[in-house]
Amino acid sequence: MSDEPVTLDALGVFSHPDDAELTVAGTLLKLKHLGYRTGVCDMTRGEMGTRGTPEVRAEEARAAARILKLDARINLEQPDGHVWLTEESRTAMVRVIRRHRPRVVFTPHWDDPHPDHAATARIVREAARLASMRRYDEEAGLDAVPVPAIAHSVYSRNQPPSFIVDVSDFVEEKMRAIRAHASQFYREGTQEPETRISSKGFLSQIEYRMRYYGSLIGVAAGEAFLVREALNVEDPFALLTRPMNIYS
């Protein structure tokens, strides 16, 4: 994983250092397996978290990045718990998009119940458009780029997805990447306060979620996404006749 600005095919932009792992890690692993260059941008260092320190969480994020085989992991160091759609945050995201030139960006749902998550989605959507405007932030010296496609992870909102990615072959690696954030999840004997995600059954729920979405397309595990723009389908026959082991 390089510290230099590297051109990416897909970039996950999420609020806290474990968010991408919990939501889109299987998809990132699959894309990497298919030969695409992948990265994650964490908006904050997670310093407001009940468990762990920013330093510990940074090391955990690096360990998870190695498991995910990411080509880049970026942290914008926005204030945790205070992520807002501001000129500063928009400009910071525009610069990430221009430096790394992703064609696809994954991000949370714009109406996620966590304020940081919802704000991140709005920042991404506005920055994606502004990154294509040549005269925006000219002083940074970064070239304008085409607007990337944006797919929102279906995680905290119960709604039909636009599409589901088959991640059946990547469940084990995804769970290893999640567990790399050891300070945040269940550890027997720890004296740290319990949170929702550190409860004993939480990681099983992540697996159940993947199994559920997989069942909708007739595979072992899936990750679900929502897009707000119309999808341009080159071959509708190929799309609609993909085999699914389910009954109509």
Of the candidates 47, 30, 55, the residue with the CA atom closest to the CA atom of residue 169? 30
Rounded CA-CA distance 178/186 in Å is 11
Is 124 a residue whose pLDDT tops 70?
Answer: yes
pLDDT digits (tens, 9 = 90+) for 192-202: 766 776 667 88
Rounded CA-CA distance 53/139 in Å is 35
pLDDT digits (tens, 9 = 90+) for 147-179: 999 999 998 878 899 999 999 999 999 999 999
Strand 163-166: give its sheet, edge to edge.
72-78, 38-44, 10-14, 104-107, 149-153, 222-226, 163-166
Q: What is the largest CA-CA distance in the chain?
A: 57
- Mean pLDDT, residues 76-95 taken together: 96
pLDDT digits (tens, 9 = 90+) for 26-44: 999 999 999 999 999 999 9
Residue 27 per-residue DSSP state: H
Instruction: Return the pLDDT at 248.
Output: 46
Domains of the chain: 10-240 (3.40.50.10320)
